[in-house]
A and B are shown apart, each in its own frame.
Chain A
Amino acid sequence: MDKILDVKNLQVSFDTYAGEVKAVRGVSFHLNKGETLAIVGESGSGKSVTSKSLMKLIPNPPGRITGGEIIFEGKNLVNYTEKQMQKIRGSDISMIFQDPMTSLNPTMTVGKQIMESIIKHQKLPKKQAKEKAIELLEMVGIINAHKRLTAYPHQFSGGMRQRVVIAMAISCNPKVLIADEPTTALDVTIQAQILELLKNLQKKMGTSIIFITHDLGVVANIADRVAVMYAGKIVEIGKVDEIFYNPQHPYTWGLLGAMPNLNEDAEELITIPGSPPNLLNPPIGDAFANRNKYAMKIDYQIEPPMFKVSDTHYAATWLLHEKSPKVLPPDALKKHRQVHSKERKKERLSKKRVKREKLLEIKNLKQYFSSGSNVVKAVDGISFEIFKGETFGLVGESGCGKSTTGRTIIRLYHATEGEVLYNNVNIHDKKSSSESQKLNQKIQMIFQDPYSSLNPRQTVADIIAEGMDIHGLAAGKKERLEKVYELLETVGLNREHANRYPHEFSGGQRQRIGIARALAVEPEFIIADEPISALDVSIQAQVVNLMKKLQKEKGLTYLFIAHDLSMVKYISDRIGVMYKGRIVELAESEELYQNPLHPYTRSLLSAIPLPDPETEKTRKRVKFDEKFVWNGNGEEPVLREVKEGHWVSCTEQEFHDYKKHFDAI
């Protein structure tokens, strides 16, 4: 195969006040014509910097390419001047960015933005450029393209905007397309559409794609080859099957194990302990050594070279050296793990049926927001119950009202209608301040963004102890501090952390602080609003494991709100699927995944990319068209119990169909 791009020993540094941060430390890979190479890694691994360097788009200063070569069609781009690069950018190599909400100019029509590069590179007159832009918009699946040409970005939804960005990127038939996390900011169903679009375009135009992502499911879906990056280096590179079915590097093992698999049910996720090294002073030897439980002495002294596994598969770990002991990848990575997990599933099911004490009951809860004459029905009449000691998962795509539900329960909003009964007491009734304080103590919340949910001017001790102070849970200064220490240790941090400030911690550590804060007042019920969506995969697994452990130890009840269905399935006992302010399906998690009934649930489930290239190759996506679903001859669908514990929003007719479906089994 022809190489279109060949990167050799690329090094990129950023000059900061503290010193030189070596973000990319000698990366080599090549890109074949017409293939998709995925670069995976966690935040800070240098994958984004690498991709931006290929187009020399890193801001300079402070960033600079300190060494290496980028050979594109026989020419070394590292030596190109800015002027020469401008000719390459957008025409030969183009780029799609992560967040379609910010990567389009809000004050310019999308048509003009698409035409810009056509006029610049292909020197077409305006009229022809316009025709080309319409053609491009049609190509990326935007209906009514000639009309939409004059629309502004804010008039498009997130998924549509990303289509516009893609149209912009492919406008000059680029030879290489770099996609930097193009689907991370999107909902799963939209993500599936965008991935399909990219694949179709690649087939049509023969573009080579470099696809940057942290999501292994997406990698399995789209990639031909995969490069795994860690601490500014590629630690493993190979064909997609080789990486997923025969991974060699312990870091790859960790990444694969940290993702819950929808079809399987492991008791605990594999985590990678610790966090990535600081690239201001990269460690000597293997940068992954101190997170690697298989690390040998040599790992701390000499950096491992790339060992050849096959002609296409290389990995940088001393474990592959002939003199090293044979280490097998952890069991959880093997395909046959399904066998023994089945038994555990049964165990879990029987365990749950035993005690069913209602803790929280929500009856016809409505939360409307009005702005002028516009009424937004964020939550539109939902009812469900949460039992003591269980985890109730609430899933849905952005804007479905799941977060609002959580916030309304804890009284951050004033409910428009409906009741929230906690231990048979209506939370939303008027109460004396002591009563409501008691409730506040019992219900706590963990927030999504660990960066903005901690006050940067408070020490960790004060953040954690604030709730205890309010509720008078600590008798004196000494007891207060003792409790803070205890909590820090419970969530896996150290005593020494008490006097530090939030900015000294990583995202995962901050989320642990958030959990400690919630635990400080000894709550019974915790609402976790997307607690892991801002974290890296390996860190996500750490936090989820911690939450599970705490639930077991303290008998907590969780309302787990998330959009990541695989994580929700992993942690939840029962799941409610929300769509447009309503619950469309509610069942035990295993049941929901085995027998999804509502068309929306089905389409949602079919859109999740799994970290398994073989299933990804054969996957069929179920498309959901609400027109066919909500038009039950004018009959409003109601939540009905189709099978014990399995509720679906349906009409009378559908209800009978579903029943028949179950009787047939």
Chain B
Amino acid sequence: MSRETQVLVSDLHSEAWWIRLMDDEVTAEERVRWDAHLAHCTRCQEEWKAMIFADAALRAAPAPEALPVGFTAATVDRIKRQQRLRRLLAFVAGTFIVTLVAMLVLALAGSALGVVEQGFIAVVAGRQALFRSVMHMVLVLFFGWQAILPFVLGLLAVGYLLLMPNGLLFTAALIWLSGHRRAMAPVRS
């Protein structure tokens, strides 16, 4: 067998060649070469016969029976139930997520509002405390004036004694001034 023929036979026994042969993708020239090879290669004859038999058996295999009556309705019914269940689950999951997010937002907002409210309360409470203390002082002065009356009278008396024309301070000032005039007068000869 020549070298060229050996290469050819090797090609004709390859899987790639058989795939092309089964798919009927060989050229006319290749087909002639194949027929010539098949005429004397027992191995290929047996394999070719088996492949053709298998191909025919597979193509002629009886078709499965038809689906039972009511299959379509039962399937559509199951699909509808499944879709309803999915929608329900999606709704529940959506509601859960929205509730969770809302709670988180409310918690954060509540915390921020709490700080503002505390400041507001402090301002209001401070003003209220100031108002209360002022009112308390007014009331104490109004109802307890007798308690401070001696001090007021004492203060007025001291002021009178010091500041009136015949008061102590004025008299002392006149004495000091006359003494000072005498001392400053020129010496008479």
Chain B associates with chain A? no
| Chain A interface (Cβ < 8 Å from any Cβ of B) | none
